[in-house]
């Protein structure tokens, strides 16, 4: 999720470009439904299935044991709701929660009742132990009651389960053409979950980050519904003429063999469509950047015929040029000076005739290492020169985007990156030889002496210092005081001696 946030920031704040191609790991199939990546794309991954696609009965089996408390159970509930939202009214859904026992949260019913199902999902609370087997038994019971061409189970747990007849229940499901996929969160028993997925002819996912649970559920739902991919030959149809493809005859290009079904967002530029009207090439501006979606691929699965098309290279070169960040303007120069508390930025700007651009307003957008954003005003300091001090108090990468304009006209957009790896006081710099020589000369010393110079005897360079006599005089006076007291107190006269 952090990498997706970085992509979104790169587009919106730094004017970058982003292109997503179709495939089994793209759009909704790649788990990008309701993520920052879908936010920046000009298309949506949710769509209504066509009538000719088979109906799906989906049963969600969710661990509600005590270890699932907090963020895990909340993300699991959000994931279950997202999976239900992807189903069409012709599909069916059921939700089962388990701890030591199993509980039917929402019995098998039409996915048209999404509100009722999602309200039931919201009631799930974490408590108890972990026993997967009763949950699978109830899932089997719910699925055998409904008539659907596709039947699928998504099992999510974060712990080690009590024993049960897993081989027996899985054989019953496989015999009734029910597939099972498993999701292990954190310290789950992934060996058991992997074995269940293999026996159930499904897929197993290991999830260390609870925030990825909704993506996995969305991907599994689309995989199970078999409706996100259309594999049929079609010729692209030009919907909106554009200068980007002005000299490319796209409608005479060879057919593409498939695409991922998406829906265009309202404000996008719908350039190419499939023969059934779904978007093929769509782009829009997201913040300062450009995002492009191409629902088919550019390799041999769906684009095999395009690989031999004479306009293939030119088509992609111009689409990529449309998406990529525009080159920096001429006449603008950015200078960064590292300081103890950050960097000092200087922006010099001149027009095409070489005249300084004055009386413009500008700002610097700063993206910090934690993706927080700050804006700092550029201050004019000289003809055509604008400056700003950018504080940097954290380690990591900083992205600076300087923009300058007059009114609604944007004159300059410049981006720079700065890495802060350690405090400024620890930065290695060249030795200041001039300062050291000046200190040695002013104190009568030597600059860069040899070992023999250090130990050479030189009387002329002997050091003299004043020695205070006060302590010694005080000690001498104290001694005289004691001697004076002795003279006054002791009688040193001769004693008389009696004679008999």
Model pLDDT for residues 335-388, shown as the tens digit of each residue? 998 887 889 999 998 887 888 888 888 889 888 888 788 889 999 999 989 999
Question: Quick one: tokens of 315?
Answer: 């088509």
Q: How much is the pTM?
A: 0.59
- What's phi and psi for 25, nearest 5 deg? -115, 25
Q: Is 100 left (phi over 0), alpha (psi -120 to 50) or beta?
A: alpha
- Cβ(105)–Cβ(124) below 8 Å: yes
Angle at 496 between CA 490 and CA 498, to 5 degrees: 150
Task: Please tell me the predicted confidence (pLDDT) of residue 261.
Answer: 84
Give me the DSSP letters along 38-94.
Answer: HHHSSEES--PPPTTSPPEEEEEEEE-SGGGTTHHHHHHHHHHHHHHHTS-TTSEEE
**What pLDDT score was predicted for residue 1?**
62
All residue ranges of the chain with pLDDT < 50 are 49-52, 500
3-state secondary structure at position 263: strand
Nearest residue to 471 (alpha-carbon basis) of 459, 479, 482, 483? 479
Domains 48-227 and 332-425 share a fold: no
Q: What is the per-residue pLDDT for 356?
A: 87
Looking at residue 51, its pLDDT comes to 42
Q: What is the pLDDT of residues 65-89, one digit of tens each?
A: 888 888 888 888 988 888 888 888 8
Q: Does domain 332-425 have CATH number 1.20.210.10?
A: no
- CA pair distance 37, 389, nearest whole angstrom: 33
Per-residue pLDDT, 315: 92
Nearest to 431 by CA among 451, 449, 448, 454: 448
Domain residue limits, the chain:
48-227, 332-425
Give the span between the Cα atoms of 184 and 171, in whole angstroms: 21
Contact between 389 and 352 (Cβ < 8 Å): no
**What pLDDT was estimated at residue 158?**
86
**Among residues 331, 344, 455, which one has the least CA distance to residue 400?**
344
CB of 386 closer than 8 Å to CB of 379:
yes
pLDDT for 47 equals: 59
Distance CA 155, CA 169 (A): 14
CATH architecture of 48-227: 3-Layer(aba) Sandwich (3.40)
Give strand pairing partners of 292: 19, 283
């Amino acid at each position: 999720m952090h990498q997706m946030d970085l992509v979104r920031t790169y587009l919106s704040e730094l004017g970058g470009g982003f292109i997503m191609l179709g495939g089994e790991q793209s759009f909704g199939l790649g788990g990008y439904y309701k993520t920052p990546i879908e936010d920046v794309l000009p298309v949506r991954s949710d769509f209504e299935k066509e009538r000719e696609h088979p109906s799906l009965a989906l049963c969600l089996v969710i661990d509600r044991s005590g270890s699932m408390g907090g963020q895990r159970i909340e993300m699991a509930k959000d994931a279950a709701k997202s999976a239900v939202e992807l189903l069409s009214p012709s599909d069916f859904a059921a939700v089962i929660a388990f701890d030591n026992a199993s509980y039917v949260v929402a019995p098998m019913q039409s996915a048209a009742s999404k509100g009722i199902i999602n309200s039931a999902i919201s009631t799930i609370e974490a408590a108890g132990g972990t026993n997967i087997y009763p949950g699978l038994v109830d899932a089997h019971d719910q699925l055998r009651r409904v008539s659907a061409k596709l039947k699928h189970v998504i099992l999510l747990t974060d712990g080690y389960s009590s024993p049960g007849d897993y081989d027996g229940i899985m054989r019953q499901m496989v015999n009734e053409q029910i597939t099972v996929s498993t999701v292990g969160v954190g310290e789950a028993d992934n060996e058991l979950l992997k074995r269940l997925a293999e026996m159930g002819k499904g897929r197993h996912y290991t999830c260390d980050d609870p925030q990825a649970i909704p993506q996995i559920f969305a991907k599994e739902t689309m995989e199970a519904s078999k409706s996100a991919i259309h594999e049929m030959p079609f010729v692209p149809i030009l919907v909106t003429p554009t200068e980007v493809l002005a000299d490319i005859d796209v409608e005479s290009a060879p057919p593409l063999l498939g695409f991922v079904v998406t829906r265009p967002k309202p404000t996008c530029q719908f350039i190419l469509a499939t023969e059934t009207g779904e978007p093929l090439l769509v782009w829009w501006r997201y913040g300062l950047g450009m995002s492009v979606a191409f629902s088919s691929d550019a390799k041999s699965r769906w684009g095999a015929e395009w690989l031999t098309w004479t306009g293939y290279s030119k088509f992609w070169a111009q689409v990529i040029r449309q998406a990529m960040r525009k080159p920096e303007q001429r006449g603008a120069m950015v200078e960064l000076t590292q300081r103890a508390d950050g960097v000092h930025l200087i922006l010099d700007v001149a027009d095409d005739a070489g005249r300084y651009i004055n009386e413009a307003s500008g700002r610097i957008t700063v993206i910090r290492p934690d993706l927080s954003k700050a804006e700092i005003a550029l201050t004019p300091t000289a003809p055509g020169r604008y400056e700003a001090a950018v504080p940097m108090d954290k380690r990591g990468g900083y992205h600076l985007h300087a923009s300058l304009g007059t009114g609604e006209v944007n004159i300059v957009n410049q981006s720079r990156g700065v890495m802060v790896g350690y405090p400024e006081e620890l930065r290695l710099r060249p030795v200041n030889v001039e300062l050291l020589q000046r200190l040695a000369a002013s104190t009568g010393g030597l600059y860069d002496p040899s070992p023999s110079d250090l130990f050479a005897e030189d009387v002329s360079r002997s050091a003299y210092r004043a020695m205070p006599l006060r302590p010694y005089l005080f000690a001498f006076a104290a001694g005289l005081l004691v001697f004076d007291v002795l003279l006054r107190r002791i009688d040193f006269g001769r004693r008389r001696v009696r004679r008999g």
